[in-house]
Amino acid sequence: MYAHSPTWIAAQIGGFVALGFIIAAFASRQDDRLLLYLIFANVAFAVHFMLFGEAVAAGMSVLVVVRIWLARRFPRRQPLMWLVLIATGTVAVATWHAWYDIFPLLAAVFGTLAMFLLRGLPMRVLLAGVALCWLANALIIGSIGGFIAELLALGTNLVTMWRIHRAKRRSESG
């Protein structure tokens, strides 16, 4: 894609919209609010990646929306988790076009495990790994908005993890 073309600019704007939702998500200490903002962010990311012509990343972003909804509605239901993982693999195989498509795939798998199996601090730790995968993808495809979004998501998530850990230590000692 030609840099500074209307499509490239629109793709970057989509990344910045997602960035706003990512910051709001990881700044929240409430799991439900975190997941709701992640839904909005992934809708924006799906559009962002489609404009970049990255079908695997766009497909993974759409599946993330479905996964978050299912994980919120049916927490810890492993049969649903396996269905989401199968759908993730199917979409990845159907849309695969480059070696770096491994990063959105890994992000989707790690995110599925985090959403269905974990809560609180452990969920956020695995979501930090998800952010690292998306960060690598953004660097490779040249997504300015995506890179900044994932870098800030990772940083905000790490600060929030520290705040949760500190609050837990205070409540245990006081």
Q: Report which DSSP code applies to 28.
A: -
Taken as a whole, the chain contains a residue count of 174
What percent of the chain is helix, strand and coil (3-state, nearest 5)? 85, 0, 15
Tokens 């890179």: give the residue.
147
Tokens 């940083």: give the residue.
155
**Cα 137-135-150 angle, rounded to 5 deg:** 130
Among 32-36, 147-151, 160-164, which stretch is predicted with the lowest mean pLDDT? 32-36
pLDDT of residue 3: 77
Q: What is the pTM of this model?
A: 0.85
Q: What is the mean pLDDT of residues 127-147?
A: 93
pLDDT of residue 88: 97
